Amino acid sequence: MSSSIGIVGTGSYVPENIVSNEEIAAGAGVTADWIRSKTGINQRHRAADHEATSDLAAEAARRALRQAGLTADQVSFIVVATSTPDHPQPATASLVQNLIGAHRAAAFDLNAVCSGFLYALTVGTQMLKAGTDPEAPYGLVIGADIYSRILDYSDRKTAILFGDGAGAVVLGPVPAGLGVVETALIGRGDQHQLIGVSAGGSRNPATARTVAEGEHFFRMDGRGVRGFVQEALPAAVDGLLTRAGLPAEQVKHFVPHQANGVMLGEVWPELGLENARMHLTVDQHANTGAASVAITLDDIHRQGALRRGELVMLAGFGGGMNIGAALLRWALDVPSTEVEEAELLLEQSDDTLADWELLAGAASR
């Protein structure tokens, strides 16, 4: 096996049902324009009643395998990063394994909330570097969440932010000099109280009282989370580059967790990535939890934004509080059937930062 491990295929899936700001606003006591001005979100996707997290994850996995030109039997493991599993047990990854027919694969879940995909990517990379079944030299790393099932739609701090979706990558051998360069994982458990679901676990089991009092809903201290990101994300970016021994000027693409477009616009100038382009899909998909980095990565790869050999930084942050980051030397070519469309999209989408700087200014007023 090559000593280099990288992404050899990407895929994503968002449910067909689109929910506009207008549909969310009234219940949360705000307006559609207020949501846009505070978050940069225009819409989000919501899972159908028959869809569970494993269904979204399986479809994203199928699309990633299809792009990589692989079958499920060539996968030695499946890691699903999620904080909204189908059930407390068995692992959602076990259900995905069955759904896609990856019968050779080990399967397990990982919960680092919205930074979970980066944690799973790190784990998967190390597993492949340690060696695996030579007849199944690939791994599937999936981020998937259905936050629509755990939201209090009267809580404007959370109801407006989240959508449902899944993103996947296939990891495998790539030519030397390409692939995963370095990763960094950071935990700040002293701030765990900023994000959480207080009931349903061993500390506060489900009862009629916990249900009646809404303790199974997702809650967040928005101001505290913003402060955490503004302090911790620049430090994480700088630390990752230092570990990799690479200057910030070499980074061409930055793919962050799509938590809130306005917040990302505010922290972007502090990251020191002047030569990079920050990629955002939060306007169309909202915050899809552990799926958001993988969905965005798949979107921009299929649009042709990434070129082989370019340095790409991924960063996730979320409940715990946790941060995960990775530097990749991109190993894929632009999908051949999409090149012409990609060039047009790139010409029309050179306004990423200007848009978010405007939004950040509006939110601060």
Coil, helix or strand at residue 56: helix
> Contact, 246 vs 327, CB < 8 A?
yes
- Catalytic pick from 253, 257, 279, 301? 257
Q: In sequence order, which residues have a C-beta less than 8 Å from that of residue 284 and are 6 or more positions away?
A: 42, 43
- Catalytic pick from 21, 260, 287, 322? 287
> Contact, 364 vs 42, CB < 8 A?
no
User: What are the Cα distances from residue 276, in Å, to 72, 81, 227, 241, 252?
Assistant: 35, 27, 23, 14, 4
Which has the closest alpha carbon to 13: 81, 72, 62, 75?
62
260 in active site? no
> Contact, 233 vs 267, CB < 8 A?
yes
Which has the closest alpha carbon to 145: 80, 202, 199?
80
287 in active site? yes
111 in active site? no
Polymer length of the chain: 365
> Contact, 145 vs 259, CB < 8 A?
no
- Catalytic pick from 21, 114, 253, 260? 114
The residues annotated as belonging to the active site are: 114, 257, 287
